């Protein structure tokens, strides 16, 4: 049985840990509210932008506009954008992304991976460290984005992937991130980023209200500006989803850690009281034994 000093030391240590996890939960809750507001505002904009692009592609039958981001070719070289966080203590948040990327490679790109043609572009320090430790080819990593999250801070990563596709450095680009559902639920999403996948005409008609646009200055110029912007918005939305998911996951993890610390404190205090009672009983027995020995003399 542990000594009273050891038990007191453990109680102090667990109490300090509980205070830290409780404070981290409160910080994550405050950050989650802002992150949740950001993603809720972004979702309608991103959906509307995708709808406009679908309309622009459907109002005319001719395919006269050249779109380098929609070029389909044999998939020999693959880039996967993995969105994680810069910090840990968020439960399985980061490990789920790594598992999701590994599952994606095993399902779709096993031959490319065997040939060494699968590259990872990471957003977040935890993903970069995790993939490098596992021997993946990490082309570059974008860290500290979440400390000052904005469209400009994410745009560089999106442009790196887009330029790599246009220059034929990569034949396909996918993105893996955690989609925010609620505080306790984050769902790993695997989405195709490049080339742009055109929806069938029937699907476009069913999902959008076709509008007969008047193009000014021209359809070509509008599409040339909207497509790159839409792609960057797609990555920005994924990062916002991941940011909200991170704070939700950390808030849940810290709440559970605080509860576990409370349970552990109860057990330690019970152990302390039992140990103290045993020590008192032992001292009483020793005193009684000594008194009887003296009396017998």
- For 160-205, write each residue's pLDDT tens digit: 999 999 999 999 999 999 999 888 888 999 998 888 776 555 554 4
pLDDT at 96 over 50: yes
Task: Report the relative pairing of strands 78-83 and 172-182 from DSSP bridges.
Answer: parallel
* Residue 137 belongs to some domain of the structure: yes
> H helices then E strands: how many in the chain?
7, 5
Dist. CA 82–CA 75, nearest whole Å: 19
Q: Does some domain include residue 2? A: no
Distance CA 70, CA 166 (A): 10
CATH number of residue 228's parent domain: 3.40.1380.10
CA distance 46 to 210: 17
Taking 3-state DSSP, the helix, strand and coil percentages for the chain, each rounded to the nearest 5, stand at 65, 15, 20
pLDDT at residue 275, rounded to an integer = 82
- Within 8 A by CB and 6+ apart from 147, the residues are 86
Is 145 domain-assigned? Answer: yes
* Token couple for 188: 């790993």
Instruction: Tally the C-alpha atoms within 13 A of residue 239's C-alpha that lie toward its C-beta.
Output: 28
Q: Which domain holds residue 92?
A: 25-253
pLDDT in tens, 236-278: 999 999 999 999 999 999 999 999 999 999 998 888 888 888 8
> What confidence tier does 53 reach under pLDDT thresholds 50, 70, 90?
low
- The mean pLDDT of 119-142, rounded to a whole number, is 90
Mean residue pLDDT across the chain: 84
Q: Does pTM surpass 0.75?
A: yes
Residue 152: is its pLDDT beyond 60?
A: yes
**pLDDT given at position 58:** 52
Number of domains in the chain: 1
In a domain? residue 1:
no
Residue 163 lies in a domain: yes
287 found inside a domain: no
6 pLDDT higher than 80 = yes
Spatial contact of 155 and 231, defined as CB atoms under 8 Å apart: no
Note whether residue 200 is domain-resident.
Answer: yes
Q: Does position 85 have pLDDT exceeding 70, yes or no?
A: yes
| pLDDT top residue among 101 and 224 | 101
Is residue 52 one of the residues assigned to a domain?
Answer: yes
Most confident of 54-58, 226-230, 258-262, 287-291: 258-262
């Amino acid at each position: 049985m542990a000594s009273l000093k050891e038990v007191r030391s453990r109680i102090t240590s667990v109490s300090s840990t509980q205070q830290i996890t409780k404070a981290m939960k409160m910080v994550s809750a405050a950050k989650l509210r802002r992150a949740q507001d950001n993603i809720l505002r972004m979702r309608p904009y991103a959906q509307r932008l995708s709808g406009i692009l679908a309309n622009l592609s459907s109002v005319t039958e001719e395919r006269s506009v050249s779109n380098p981001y929609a070029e389909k070719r044999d998939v020999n070289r693959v880039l996967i954008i993995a969105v994680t966080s810069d910090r840990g203590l968020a439960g399985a948040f980061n490990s789920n992304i790594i598992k999701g990327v590994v599952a994606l490679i095993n399902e779709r790109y096993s031959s490319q991976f065997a040939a060494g043609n699968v590259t990872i572009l990471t957003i977040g320090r935890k993903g970069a460290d995790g993939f490098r430790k596992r021997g993946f080819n990490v082309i570059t990593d974008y860290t500290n984005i979440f400390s000052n999250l904005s469209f400009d801070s994410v745009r560089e990563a999106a442009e790196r992937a887009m330029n790599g596709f246009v220059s034929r450095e990569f034949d396909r680009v996918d993105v893996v991130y955690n989609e925010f559902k609620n505080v306790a639920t984050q769902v790993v999403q695997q989405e195709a980023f490049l080339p742009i996948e055109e929806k069938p005409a029937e699907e476009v008609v069913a999902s959008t209200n076709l509008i007969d646009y008047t193009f000014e200055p021209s359809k070509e110029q509008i599409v040339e500006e909207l497509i790159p912007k839409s792609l960057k918005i797609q990555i920005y939305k994924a990062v916002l989803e991941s940011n909200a998911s991170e704070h939700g996951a950390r808030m849940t993890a810290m709440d559970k850690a605080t509860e576990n610390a409370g349970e552990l404190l109860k057990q330690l205090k019970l152990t302390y009281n039992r140990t103290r009672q045993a020590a008192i009983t032992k001292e009483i027995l020793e005193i009684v034994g000594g008194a009887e020995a003296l009396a017998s003399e």
